[in-house]
DNA sequence: TCTGTTAATTGATCTGGATCAATTCTGGCC
DNA sequence: GGCCAGAATTGATCCAGATCAATTAACAGA
């Protein structure tokens, strides 16, 4: 069942953006840049918004010309398969990039739609490529972000059972909330159960039942979209903790070699 | 059940490599470079091999310092979860890169092991970063390859049922064989059923039964590791055809907008 | 050629999660 | 407040694929 076609792709006033004063500069492309280099980045970036819930930032098949960094709100990316079913590929919160999968083919490979009121920065890709040649720190950050995305999808692939997947999902959100300076154990889910289910390849009912079970077992307290993590270690035991900002050893016991 | 620890990480004679005479130059990092630039790439690349089946190229947790391009043979990457189960993340054939997921943390996030006798080119990452600033075509190719990896994992995530996943897997292999100039409908699987099963999150027995069913239905002819694709359209209908070298529109019917 | 070993197949059974089917909640709107 | 539509929960049943258990095939080494 394809989702309702809310509206066409958003097209809003383009405003200059100042990375230097952005609260997300430590998680986003500017990470590691000095003031001068950050200004060069600002010069190619445009702010866009607001995008209303249900409005699309881009659609599958559109020609690719920019990456988008989420400033506020949240987006999801999804595809529609040849049988008309929707598959949620991922969720994008403040400081995260959308559209990386479009680079190689020159066309966007998924749809990106706002879950809440959102604002984003558009980064024209050809100018970003050019600038990243001049600014090594920027080039390094782009590669890091893409590499992290590859790691993260490998992570999702290793979680087999339904409870592992939901636990891993909650941990991932928690970590991303913490990165943004929010309380890590108080999550407000920006998406409905249906989208969580689609992303984790589960039925909505299963997600609902798992939330109930996790609550019974004292792992979390759930009320609608609000989730409080009560027993982090137990959750981590279920869905492996993959700390994508760590040193790559967090998942293994100390090695003896 | 963790796999037997065959041996330590491989460490073999380092030989200069000539990308210009490499038959894989049109699929690998040199794609799109002119002769001069290709020579610059050669100057930082070392050839390594042979790596015997079961020998590791690197292990999870090792500090990351190089990407590897497969020249001959095939590798798999995998992780061991906190319950000791192996999860196969992917397979790497001639012309493909291994190790991209290690960039962001500075440590390899998975193990890489040879499935068959293999030779690889080691590309020291810091020198690659540096060179890609001077050689725009190289920078572009790295980003394309990483973007393609992100797309591919999204693809795997959208295939739900067991037959969709196996069909998608066969199509992906077929496409990669064709890229290397081999016959696209005659595949020799470089990996055992167990690894296919782990990669697709299925039981070995299920993979075996699916091969039998596909054969019954006339989709393929299977004999041990040799698979002949007999009915490509039917296979594509099952596992969506995602042509990662195409224009991004291959999965959608022509758009009317 | 036989023999041990691992890979693959095939069969029988079991179960986690999907599906179908009602309710119940919640927030927006009159 | 009362009413409505979509979101979420809860219950009953079903089935795809896992698991358990043999059996057969391929192959390396003696």
- pLDDT tens for residues A108-167? 999 999 999 999 999 999 999 999 999 999 999 999 999 999 999 888 888 889 999 999
* pLDDT range class, residue B16, cuts 50, 70, 90: low
Could you tell me the CA-to-CA distances from A93 to A84, A246, B125 in Å, in that order? 26, 19, 29
Does residue B90 carry a pLDDT above 80?
Answer: yes
Nearest nucleotide, CA B195 to C1' = C7
Positions 155-214 of B with beta carbon below 7 A from strand D are 160-163, 201-203, 205-206
Asked if B3 has any chain A CB less than 8 Å from its own CB, the reply is no
Structure tokens at A165: 């997947």
For chain A, say whether B23 makes contact (Cβ under 8 Å).
no
Quick one: closest CA in B to A140, which residue?
Answer: B129
pLDDT tens-place string over residues A31-77: 888 888 888 888 899 888 789 899 999 999 999 999 999 999 999 99
B66-72 β-sheet, strand order: B15-16, B46-51, B118-124, B66-72, B97-98
Q: Average pLDDT in the B194-210 region?
A: 95
Residue B250's pLDDT is: 43
- Rounded to an integer, the average pLDDT of B66-76 is 94
A105:B248 CB<8 A: yes
- Whole-angstrom Cα distance, residue B215 to residue B223? 10
How far, in Å, is the CA of A192 from the C1' of nucleotide D8? 9
Confidence of residue B248 (pLDDT cuts 50, 70, 90): very low
Q: What percent of chain A has pLDDT over 70?
A: 87
Model's pTM, two decimal places? 0.86
Contact with chain B for residue A119, Cβ under 8 A? no
**Chain B contact present for A194, CB below 8 A:** no
| Domain B9-147, CATH | 2.60.120.10
Contact between residue B46 and residue B65 where contact means Cβ atoms under 8 Å apart: no
Q: In chain B, which among 43-102 make CB contacts under 8 A with chain A?
A: 60-61, 64, 79-82, 87, 89-90, 100-102
Does A199 contact strand D, using a CB cutoff of 7 Å? no
Rounded distance, CA B50 to CA B114, Å? 10
Contact B149 A148 (CB under 8 A): no
A3 at B interface, C-beta within 8 A: no
The answer to whether residues B85 and B1 touch, using CB atoms and an 8 Å cutoff, is yes
Parts of chain B belonging to CATH 2.60.120.10: 9-147
Phi, psi of A79 (to 5 degrees): -125, 160
The pLDDT tens digits for B123-177 are 999 999 999 999 999 999 999 999 999 999 888 888 889 999 999 999 999 999 9
Determine the residue of chain A that is closest to B104 in CA distance.
A144
Nearest nucleotide (C1') to the CA of residue A204?
A: D8
Chain D nucleotides reached by a protein CB under 7 Å: 7-12, 16-21, 26-27
Q: Kindly state whether A16 is in contact with chain B, defined as any CB-CB distance less than 8 angstroms.
A: no
- Cross-chain Cβ contact B154/A158 below 8 Å: no
Look at residue B5 in the predicted model and tell me its pLDDT. 43
Q: How confident is the model at residue B241 (pLDDT cuts 50, 70, 90)?
A: low
Render the burial of B152-169: b for 16+ CB within 10 Å, e for the rest: bbbbbbbbeebbbbbbbb
User: CATH 1.10.10.10 region(s) of chain A?
Assistant: 162-256
Residue B7: predicted pLDDT? 44
Q: Is B20's Cβ below 8 Å from some Cβ in A?
A: no
Q: What mean pLDDT is predicted for residues A96-102?
A: 95
B244 interfacial to chain A (CB closer than 8 Å): yes
Quote the minimal CA–CA distance from B38 to chain A in Å.
18
- Contact between B41 and B138 (Cβ < 8 Å): yes
**8 A C-beta contact, residue B137 and residue B32:** yes
Q: What is the pLDDT of residue B187?
A: 92
Q: State the nucleotide closest to B200 in CA–C1' terms.
A: D17
Does the domain made of A162-256 have the CATH classification 3.40.50.1000?
A: no
DSSP A60: T
Distance A147 CA to D15 C1' (A): 39
Interface test with A, best of B123, B151, B169 (most A CBs within 10 A): B151
- Give burial (CB, 10 Å; 0-12/13-18/19+) of A161: exposed
Nearest CA in chain A to B246: A105
Distance CA B26, CA B19 (A): 10
Closest residue, CA to C1' of D7: A192
- For residue B137, give the chain A residue with the closest CA: A129
Are residues A35 and A20 in contact, defined by beta-carbon separation less than 8 angstroms? yes
CA of B112 to C1' of D29 (A): 29
Average pLDDT on A187-197 reads 95
């Amino acid at each position: 069942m394809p989702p309702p076609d809310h509206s066409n792709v958003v097209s809003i006033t383009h405003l200059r953006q100042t990375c230097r004063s952005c609260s997300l500069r430590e998680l986003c492309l500017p990470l590691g840049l000095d003031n001068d280099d950050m200004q060069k980045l600002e010069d190619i970036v445009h702010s866009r918004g607001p995008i209303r819930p249900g409005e699309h930032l881009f659609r599958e098949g559109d020609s690719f010309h920019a990456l988008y960094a989420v400033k506020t709100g949240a987006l999801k990316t999804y595809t529609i398969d040849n049988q008309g079913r929707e598959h949620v590929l991922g969720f994008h919160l403040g400081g995260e990039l959308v559209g990386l999968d479009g680079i190689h083919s020159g066309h966007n490979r998924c749809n990106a739609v706002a879950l809440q009121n959102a604002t984003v920065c558009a980064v024209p890709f050809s100018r970003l490529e050019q600038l990243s040649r001049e600014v090594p720190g920027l080039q390094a950050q782009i590669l890091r972000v893409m590499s992290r995305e590859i790691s993260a999808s490998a992570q999702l692939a290793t979680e087999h059972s339904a409870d592992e997947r939901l636990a891993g999902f909650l941990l991932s959100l928690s970590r991303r909330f913490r990165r943004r300076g929010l309380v890590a154990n108080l999550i407000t889910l920006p998406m409905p159960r249906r989208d969580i289910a689609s992303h984790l390849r589960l039925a909505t009912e299963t997600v609902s039942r798992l939330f109930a079970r996790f609550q019974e077992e004292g792992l979390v307290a759930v009320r609608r979209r609000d989730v409080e993590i009560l027993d982090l270690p137990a959750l981590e035991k279920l869905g492996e903790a993959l700390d994508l900002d760590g040193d790559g050893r967090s998942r293994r016991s100390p090695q003896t070699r």
